[in-house]
């Protein structure tokens, strides 16, 4: 599980770097949403319903972060058995 956590934390850091480079507000919001999706995956919290009213690109970025985070966690759990 440590590998999945480290991978997610690294990806969160990458999103934070990309936030600093964002040129538009929607781009910034997208990176923040992806970061939040990754964080939520670590804590088993699904906030997709709260992102549905956002711009479609922002919602999609949240889903990408959340689902990628879940996939990393599942792959580690699967390989431990």
Q: What's the pLDDT at 50? A: 95
pLDDT, residue 75, reads 83
pTM for the complete prediction?
0.89
Of residues 22, 4, 14, the one with CA closest to residue 68: 4
User: Could you tell me the pLDDT band of residue 76, with boundaries at 50, 70 and 90?
Assistant: confident
Sign of CA dihedral 20, 4, 43, 63: positive
Q: Does the pLDDT value for residue 1 go beyond 70? A: no
The 10s digit of each residue's pLDDT in 3-53 is 667 889 999 999 999 999 999 999 999 999 999 999 999 999 999 999 999
Q: Tell me how far apart the alpha carbons of residues 58 and 78 are, in angstroms, rounded to a whole number.
A: 30
């Amino acid at each position: 599980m440590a590998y999945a956590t480290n991978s997610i934390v690294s990806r969160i850091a990458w999103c934070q770097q990309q936030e600093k480079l964002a040129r538009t507000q929607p781009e910034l919001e997208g990176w923040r949403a992806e970061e939040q999706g990754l964080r939520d995956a670590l804590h088993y919290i699904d906030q997709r319903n709260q992102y549905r009213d956002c711009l479609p690109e922002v919602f999609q970025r949240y889903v990408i972060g959340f689902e990628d985070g879940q996939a990393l966690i599942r792959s580690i759990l699967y390989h431990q058995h």
